[in-house]
Amino acid sequence: ELKVEQNPLFLSMQEGKNYTIYCNYSTTSDRLYWYRQDPGKSLESLFVLLSNGAVKQEGRLMASLDTKARLSTLHITAAVHDLSATYFCAVDMGNNAGNMLTFGGGTRLMVKP
Amino acid sequence: ETGVTQTPRHLVMGMTNKKSLKCEQHLGHNAMYWYKQSAKKPLELMFVYSLEERVENNSVPSRFSPECPNSSHLFLHLHTLQPEDSALYLCASSQGAGGLSEQYFGPGTRLTVT
């Protein structure tokens, strides 16, 4: 059974600081997704990582994937309040019929002014 | 309408009621999904439909019954639910069949079982 673990589960940080969220998973996969969820809202896709060594950046967020270590990271650079949300990673064990996502427990990020 | 829509957004039902959740995607995708998000557990995949056929059922109790009449619509029929079924139910779609792509999520239905 695939297990996906995120840490930390909760992160409080000051604006302007850097931090990294970690996503470890238990079974080989080379497809991993990062999502953002604001309170009371649905999930918004942030990054799609489809190969070992994949790195993607959007604004202050950068995601990477190491399939050998079964690890993905989401790095936050110079955090701002607008980044406050819950971040989820999800590992895909699907096939051509569709995605089979297993989600991590989420990291609730709070950025303080 | 754009993206993935879900109705109703909020639903309160008794344990003896029967209700249905509706999901519609306007993205031309061919795979649709139901997820359950409860306070104490990670997001759980419930059902997967690809090209209108069910391809995955993650041991979901029979009181949840999905229906996919076409590639744009997905329903979740509910009957004799339990209080622990109270959760946010999310629908998603992707261009799944024939290739892998990210999933797009609807706003969810907040279900409360009394």
pLDDT per position as a tens digit, A62-113: 999 999 999 999 999 999 999 999 999 999 887 766 778 899 999 999 999 8
B contacts of A101 (beta carbons < 8 Å): 43, 45, 103
Q: Which residues of A touch B31 (CB under 8 A)?
A: 97-99
CA angle A12, A43, A63 (to 5 degrees): 60
Q: Is the separation of the CB atoms in A18 and A78 below 8 Å?
A: yes
Q: From the candidates A42, A48, A107, which should be mutated to test the interface with B, based on the most B CB atoms within 10 A?
A: A42
pLDDT at position B100, please?
61
pLDDT tens-digit profile of A25-45?
998 887 899 999 998 888 999
Query: Coil, strand, or helix at residue A82?
Result: helix
Cα R_g (chain A), whole angstroms:
14
Instruction: Please give the DSSP secondary-structure letter assigned to residue A16.
Output: T
Residue by residue, DSSP assigns A87-104 as EEEEEE--BTTB--EEE-
Tell me phi and psi for residue B106, to 5 degrees: -80, 175
- Judged by DSSP in three states, A24 sits in strand
User: Chain A, 57-76: which have a CB under 8 Å from a chain B CB?
Assistant: none
Residues of chain B where predicted confidence (pLDDT) is lower than 50: none
- Decide: B92 and B77 in contact? Cβ < 8 Å: no
Question: In this structure, what DSSP letter does residue A113 have?
Answer: -
